[in-house]
Amino acid sequence: MPRVPEETLQQILAATDIVDLVGRYVKLRRAGVNWVGLCPFHTEKSPSFNVNTARGTYHCFGCGAGGNAFRFVMEHDGLTFMDAVKRLADTAHIRIEEEVWDANAERVAKIRNGLVKLHTEIAEWYHELLMKSTHAEEARAYLKSRGINADTARNWKMGYAPASGQLLRQWAEPRKFTENLLVAGGILARGDEDSNRPGEVYPRFRHRLMFPIRNDFGEVIAFSGRLLDANAKSAKYLNSPETVLFNKSKVFFGLDKSKRPIIKANRAIVCEGQLDLITAFEHGFENVVAPLGTAFTEFHARMLKRHAEEVVLCFDSDNAGYKAAERAFVILAPIGLIVKVAPLPKGEDPDSLIRGQGTEAFKATLEASRDFFDHMIDYASSNRDLNETREKTRFAGEMASMIRLLENNIARDAALQKVAMRLGIPEAEYRRQVAKTAKPVANNQASANVTQEQTPSLPPQDKTASMLCALALSDEEILDWLRETDREEILKDISGTELLSLVWNSSVKLADPAKLTGFLSTLKKEEESALSQLHSQPMPKGGLPEAVQALDVLEMKRVHNLLQRAQSQLKQPGIDAATIGKLNERVVALRKEYLDRRARLQNVPPL
């Protein structure tokens, strides 16, 4: 009889948000850690139908209906079990490979059970070595240096993997754990032909502090080993390889302990490392998780969404942390999670901050968590010159692609207004830019566990600026006039003028095809591509008079942008009366200048 492997069924259930599923048929509202609504299986006036996100189940206290996502689809839509599985698998984009229940299936099940038993027992052995063996003195000294006591080591079942492979064999032999099983579980490794020990079997973890990795049910399924020899040429942290039990792109360290606190707080704090998580958890911050040294995946995001609505990223306050937060946002935002960033002091992580400055310091850091866009703007302001037109426009384009990821219209609108105001960009203009910007695509490669960087591109170019740029490329007289015109500062306050700025500031005779080709080769990839595309299009009709009018239109746009910026500043809370007075004067002056310039121009479409 055909059957779906148990691992596949668990994968489908984990990928299915039961609140989303039931919510398509039942109006639900949050009630503590659960969601409640009127039961779809019997008539009732008071809600007795409960959905539990942590367990992925539903139950009606009125009629007794209950089960998981498969059961709900079966009961609600009258489907067989296999049809319900296939429907949810299609929704989750999970491929089903049915097996025939035979001797081979029995063998696979036996291997899985053997691996569970192996990991359970070896975790106990590693732990006993850490607590009692003379071989683990260095590991105990390391834990002491990190402020971790024996109680914490016991709570997390920390262990020690000895440097000697003989000790491992002496432990495994009487328990009848075969070499093949130890290799299948990642405890032993077998050297391949390209290694310096081809065919040799040796312990994967040697002289390392061991952290058991557990699934949602608390079973040990893998390990993460921390190097103790600072001079060894090996990775500081080494995880188990992927096995029948373990796929690191689908597991959070510590979630088995923290999922209930996360549900209660409706908020997950994401740390970068195991010790960060353990220190935070042991000091009362229990709603924490940590990925296993890998980029976020959609599976990670959906796991968090099942437990909370908000995620706080506690990453390093450096460029690597900035990029990590950006990559995490690309994964987390599209499924509706609210993403915030905790402003860790420079050089600190949760572990060092708590040990060095105490729990109040970390609590204050969490309380100061900022909206993702505020964090990005603050960091960019301190590391990039956002007063420079090109850099400011480039950054605005980066934020526009992030805003497009927000599925909630209200959240997207709020983010758009915030970025426009903080960057001093007219909201209407920025709204058009966001609408034209493509969403960044996160390419989760499960085998490599990386997020592919996006190919950079220029933001949409201003039509008038593009026309003037094209005229300058086609007519040497116009280019010379443009370079002699002392009005380039107008571009600083108009977005989408990067290409015109490049041409304006060049010193090459760009009407010469050979020199134009040489000039293009000096540009960045995205600049070269955009300018080549512009040059390949039919050149606009007209000459110097049309170029002069185009520059006048840009000047008018600049004044219009300055007017909108001043009006936006007037709306900011907390400004004093003196500032309000100056801004009002500026608004009046800019409005008059804008109307005067517009009156002097003919056949100019509305901005």
Domain residue limits, the chain: 2-99, 103-243, 252-436, 463-600
What is the distance of C-alpha 511 from the center of its chain? 45
Identify the CATH class of 103-243.
Answer: alpha beta
- Looking at the chain, the whole-number percentage of residues with pLDDT higher than 90 is 29
Residue 33 confidence (pLDDT) above 60: yes
Task: Output the pLDDT for position 442.
Answer: 55
Task: Output the pLDDT for position 135.
Answer: 94
We find that the CATH architecture of domain 463-600 is Orthogonal Bundle (1.10)
Residue 295 confidence (pLDDT) above 80: no
Q: Classify 431 as helix, strand or coil.
A: helix
Task: Output the pLDDT for position 447.
Answer: 32
pLDDT band at 192 (very low <50, low <70, confident <90, very high): low
Residue 425 confidence (pLDDT) above 70: yes
pLDDT band at 106 (very low <50, low <70, confident <90, very high): low
Contact 33, 264 (CB under 8 A): yes
Instruction: Report the distance separating Cα 244 and Cα 119, nearest Å.
Output: 12
Residue 486 confidence (pLDDT) above 60: yes
| Among the ranges given (319-323, 359-363, 417-421), the one the predictor scored with the smallest mean pLDDT | 319-323
Higher pLDDT pick, 522 / 369: 369
Higher pLDDT pick, 33 / 97: 33
φ and ψ at 267, to 5 degrees?
-155, 135
Instruction: Report the distance separating Cα 187 and Cα 115, nearest Å.
Output: 10
Identify the CATH class of 252-436.
Answer: alpha beta
Residue 100 confidence (pLDDT) above 60: no
Task: Output the pLDDT for position 231.
Answer: 77
Average pLDDT over residues 243-247: 87
Average pLDDT over residues 506-517: 69
Average pLDDT over residues 28-57: 85
pLDDT band at 536 (very low <50, low <70, confident <90, very high): low
| Among the ranges given (46-50, 144-148, 331-335, 386-390), the one the predictor scored with the smallest mean pLDDT | 386-390
pLDDT band at 412 (very low <50, low <70, confident <90, very high): confident
pLDDT band at 194 (very low <50, low <70, confident <90, very high): low
Instruction: Report the distance separating Cα 27 and Cα 246, nearest Å.
Output: 36
Task: Output the pLDDT for position 281.
Answer: 96
What does the block give as tokens for 328?
């995490």
Average pLDDT over residues 140-147: 94
Collect all residues with Cβ–Cβ distance below 8 Å to 258 and sequence separation of at least 6.
Answer: 268, 277, 281, 286, 287, 288, 289
Average pLDDT over residues 244-254: 88
103-243 matches 252-436 in fold: no
Instruction: Report the distance separating Cα 189 and Cα 253, nearest Å.
Output: 23
Topology classification of domain 2-99: DNA Primase; Chain A (3.90.580)
- Looking at the chain, the whole-number percentage of residues with pLDDT higher than 70 is 86
Task: Output the pLDDT for position 308.
Answer: 85
What does the block give as tokens for 583?
């801004």
Identify any residues that bridge with 450 across adjacent strands, giving them in sequence order: 445
User: What average pLDDT is seen over the chain?
Assistant: 83
